[in-house]
Structure 1
């Protein structure tokens, strides 16, 4: 084949490759525009999207930790949602995540049941859901606790903090002071130290699950019982057997039982809760 013809063929091939690449690039952009597969770009636009709904687990007001879900409708009718694990008794946002481009049917039939372990959650007003989240953030920051690192991005699905005035229907802390209930992965020593620095001994509640870590016991000036029952609910009978003592003023397992009335029964319920004096 003559050299001139070979050169022409090469030029044609290069031109064809360029056209093919341009078409592929255009197709990718069109696909992204059609189905919205660019999560970060969508996240920046999230606050412009209408809110689809908000959910929280049943009984959340008695548990101290709320699993809040807020969803928005994307332009292509897919769902973007944020999930927030909120400790409104003490430490604020324990975890957060978000997802986008979720099929509406998948969101309703798979995502929600999975996040709430098969138990139907409660539909709540989006305003209330956001008040729980932002209120817990503010309360925890006042104690020296920052939100989980994932919250920075996941918070873009929420309206900005302070957008709506608080309703006053949600109480943060327990009976006016922090109540710390450790999560499995918590650095309990660090959290207790922070609470002592923020509010001082005697000004927060601590409800351990199982054994109290030795370093925590030292910080709280607690003498550990020889045997600790598995239950996180402590009764006067268990406390009498444990013989643990505290000088901190904190509510912890091991406090002395209620005075007994003339009938021989405790004057109040035998279940010990942080509010008992």
Structure 2
């Protein structure tokens, strides 16, 4: 099926704008230190239900300060392959957290978000990062700094057992910000680490999602 060039260009422009906005937020938040907020109580620890269903979703931890502010660490976790794809820390007005960030998190997860114990959220993230590391992928640049907001939450105290990969092997699902250069890199690294045929993938080619097929690897070369 042919792809409308105008629609594709519009889609690429939207992605570029989102990346620009994220860069601004990251620069603003980089000077903040999560460990400065550990004395404040946790008011939310949430995991998107999509993590269980499709292997990808958000994890959020929030602590409330006495100054009507909320310190937030947020992550995008990929339990099927890449581990912690995104991580950022910010401090915002409580009113903005309640009226904007938290509703946005809920809205972007059609399956909903679930409250979990901080020790379990941390266990989920650390396990995903470790699994991805075995496949040759590092977590998001800010991950280890951002996750300090968990404080003394001990993953060993979590009784939930998390599984990584899909049906026993890695499965790469192209994200909305993954260009073809990223796709090629991920598939090449998986081929090196586990061998062709020992992983699955879902990528977009000419505007259509394509699942694992040997000939697709040749098309991406």
Matched, 1:206 2:201: yes
Matched, 1:170 2:138: no
Larger Rg: 1
RMSD (Å) for aligned C-alpha atoms: 3.1
> How many Å apart are 1:77 and its aligned residue?
5.2
* TM-score, scaled relative to structure 2: 0.70
Give ranges in structure 2 of 5+ residues lacking alignment.
1-28
Partner of 2:61, secondary structure, is strand
The structure-2 alpha-carbon separation of the partners of 1:135 and 1:64, relative to structure 1 and needing over 3 Å to count, comes to same
Alignment-derived partner of residue 246 in structure 1: 214
Matched, 1:189 2:179: no
Name the structure with the higher helix share.
Answer: 2
Rounded Cα–Cα distance in structure 1 between residues aligned with 2:95 and 2:70: 9
Alignment-derived partner of residue 24 in structure 1: none
> How many Å apart are 1:170 and its aligned residue?
1.3
**2:123–2:155 Cα contact (<8 Å) kept:** no
Aligned residues: 184
Alignment-derived partner of residue 109 in structure 1: 99
Partner of 2:169, secondary structure, is coil
* TM-score, scaled relative to structure 1: 0.57
Decide which moves more: 150-159 or 170-179.
150-159
Rounded Cα–Cα distance in structure 1 between residues aligned with 2:36 and 2:98: 23
The 5 Å alignment of 1:111-126 reads 111-117=101-107, 121-126=113-118
Rounded Cα–Cα distance in structure 1 between residues aligned with 2:142 and 2:43: 22
Rounded Cα–Cα distance in structure 2 between residues aligned with 1:144 and 1:161: 27
> How many Å apart are 1:66 and its aligned residue?
1.5
Partner of 2:129, secondary structure, is helix
> How many Å apart are 1:95 and its aligned residue?
1.0
The 5 Å alignment of 1:1-277 reads 40=31, 42-76=33-67, 78-100=69-91, 102-117=92-107, 121-159=113-151, 163-164=155-156, 167-186=159-178, 187-211=182-206, 230=208, 246=214
**2:57–2:77 Cα contact (<8 Å) kept:** yes
Partner of 1:136, secondary structure, is helix
**2:73–2:88 Cα contact (<8 Å) kept:** yes
Give ranges in structure 1 of 5+ residues lacking alignment.
1-37, 212-228, 235-243, 251-277
